[in-house]
Amino acid sequence: MLVFAESSSFWELPISGFDAAIVAIYLLAMLALGIWVGLGQKTTVDYFLGGRSMPGWAVLLSIVSTETSAVTFLSIPGMAFAAGGDLRFLQITFGYIVGRLIVVWLLLPIYFRGEPFTAYEVLERRFGKSSRRITSLLFLVTRNIADALRLYLAALVLKEAMDLEMQLCIWAVGAVTIAYTYLGGVKSVVWNDCVQFAIYILGAGVILYKIFALLPGGVEEYWSYAVENDKLRVFDFTPSLTATNTFWGGLIGGMFLTAATHGTDQLTVQRLLAAKSQRTAGWALAASGFIVCFQFALFLLIGVGLAAFYSQTEVSFGSTGNDRVVAHFIINHLDPGIIGLTLAAVFAAAFSSSLNSLSTALVSDIVLPLSGNTLTRETQMRWAKWSTLAFGLLQIGIAVVAYRMSASQSIVNEVLTIAAFTSGPMLGLYLIGVLAPNVSEKPALGGFLCGLIVISLVTFLPRFTDMPVIWWPWYATIGSAATFASGWMLSKTPLGAKHV
């Protein structure tokens, strides 16, 4: 039996020149699209928000594409493929749907009062300048770290596929992202997101079709295997914070998590602000939850199919190789040309959409306020483009450092977990602003700090004590609740006695 352990390569040979050419053509097409849509942009409203004129369907697909990474494309099928795996992870999308509807009702109207450029401007209106600067700076730090490490993971895929040197792969993926974002601004990002969505959904569909074709009994054998091995289980109503893939964790935890990521994070809020109207933005955000549900279902069904297919072979991926099964299937069982298309789908999910959002936050929340809003239109555009370039190079640099430190998947996941600490407390801060009008800036920021401390304890104490490990979707719920509760209580102390 051929076993693919964690340390072994899952592709024995690089892809053909034809497949490599398909991937290269896709990358060049992204650049061409960036150049085309970037023509005529002269103001930061155009560069950062697409002139506030993006159609709803494009915003919808951009939102979904932005939250889909190469890791998602490769790892979600692995959940259903694994021994004992099934479709229960789909339950988290139920929370995603509810959470986005809540954002449309509760937070979206705030963003469309006036014409803000970032999610954090509304905090200044509600609390003060410190809230805006602190939250924007946290976004700049955590988003750069997180997307740099996602770049590192995407480059690992490119390295294995094309047999290239790792640092060259990092620079290749990073440079393409910088180029189309620098040239086209948010319009380029949104339209490329739409293309990327189409490519990776098409790639996923091709994989599922090929699985059906390779199984001797086709679709009938697929469903027979799935039923016999209990692979179609969706619901688990276990009332537990520690059990994974439960209905309550998915519904409640997923609801708070998506409210945080899609209601307070500049990466998504920027796309909403680029829509033609509040109604358009609301429709796009609400619909995105259902599209993600469909997408996750597709990825999980691929995992079930791969389990059925590989159960008939001598190939084993070991206990740590579930995330590798999709890549192995692409290279070893798809036809030439289709391999290139499907790898392009993986890369489509790999490119970061954050550079323009980072530039928007820096210029709008930091540079302009510090300059007294006196910068000319031309100077603002120079800041916008040069900061896009700078953030791209920074992410490439962090990815290279991760490679030179020989960062493992587990280490990368640890850092990504830390980078996501602010999501729950950030939502708690916004909820204070909306639901607790008598809480001023100091107690609100104090609550935010308390929320960060609570999340840190929940995450790290189980590693040093007998405290049980809580399933990660609950983190945003705990963080936002801790922030809201402590902020409200601090407002009853001398710290909150005077509004600022």
Residue 499 has pLDDT above 60, yes or no: no
pLDDT tens digit sequence for 309-358 = 999 887 777 655 677 788 889 888 888 888 888 777 777 766 767 899 99
Q: For residue 9, name the pLDDT band (cuts at 50, 70, 90).
A: very low
pLDDT of residue 357: 95
pLDDT tens digit sequence for 30-68 = 888 888 888 878 899 999 999 999 999 999 999 999 888
Give the max Cα distance, the chain.
74
More confident call, 159 vs 288: 288
pLDDT tens digit sequence for 356-371 = 999 999 999 999 999 9
Q: What is the mean pLDDT of the chain?
A: 88
Average pLDDT estimate for 416-425: 77
More confident call, 282 vs 66: 282
More confident call, 454 vs 324: 454
Rg (the chain; Cα; Å): 23
String of DSSP letters for 121-136:
HHHHHHT-HHHHHHHH
Average pLDDT estimate for 371-377: 87
Selection from 331, 266, 313, 229 nearest residue 135 by Cα = 266
| Runs of H (alpha helix) within 107-217 | 108-111, 121-126, 129-162, 166-214
Lowest mean pLDDT among 102-111, 176-185, 282-291, 440-449: 176-185
| Runs of H (alpha helix) within 254-408 | 254-263, 266-273, 278-310, 325-333, 338-348, 355-361, 368-370, 377-404
Residue 227 has pLDDT above 90, yes or no: yes
Write out the two tokens for 190.
């949104």
Q: For residue 20, name the pLDDT band (cuts at 50, 70, 90).
A: confident
Quote the CA–CA distance of 299 and 302 in Å, as a whole number: 5
Counting runs of H as helices and runs of E as strands, what totals does the chain give?
Answer: 23, 2
pLDDT of residue 404: 87
Q: For residue 408, name the pLDDT band (cuts at 50, 70, 90).
A: low
pLDDT of residue 325: 86
pLDDT of residue 414: 61
The amino acid sitting at 60 is L
Q: For residue 6, name the pLDDT band (cuts at 50, 70, 90).
A: very low
Distances (CA, A) of 458 to 72, 261, 417, 446, 462: 25, 20, 12, 19, 7
What does the buried/exposed string (b/e) look like for 471-488 if buried means 16 or more CB atoms within 10 Å of the residue's CB? bbbbbbbbbbbbbbbbbb
Write out the two tokens for 162.
């094309």
Rank 274-288, 408-422, 457-471 by mean pLDDT and report only the highest: 274-288
More confident call, 69 vs 303: 303
Average pLDDT estimate for 394-418: 75
Q: For residue 415, name the pLDDT band (cuts at 50, 70, 90).
A: low
More confident call, 164 vs 45: 45
More confident call, 234 vs 372: 234
pLDDT of residue 319: 59
pLDDT of residue 344: 79
pLDDT of residue 34: 83
pLDDT of residue 474: 94
Residue 164 has pLDDT above 90, yes or no: no
Average pLDDT estimate for 103-131: 95
Give the chain's domains with CATH numbers: 2-407 (1.20.1730.10), 421-500 (no CATH)
pLDDT of residue 318: 66
Distances (CA, A) of 384 to 36, 122, 161, 380: 18, 21, 34, 6
pLDDT of residue 4: 41
Write out the two tokens for 110.
């705030």
Tokens 């550079």 locate to: 355
Lowest mean pLDDT among 1-5, 31-35, 293-297, 311-315: 1-5
Residue 498 has pLDDT above 90, yes or no: no
Residue 237 has pLDDT above 60, yes or no: yes
More confident call, 21 vs 435: 435
Tell me the percentage of the chain whose pLDDT exceeds 90: 61
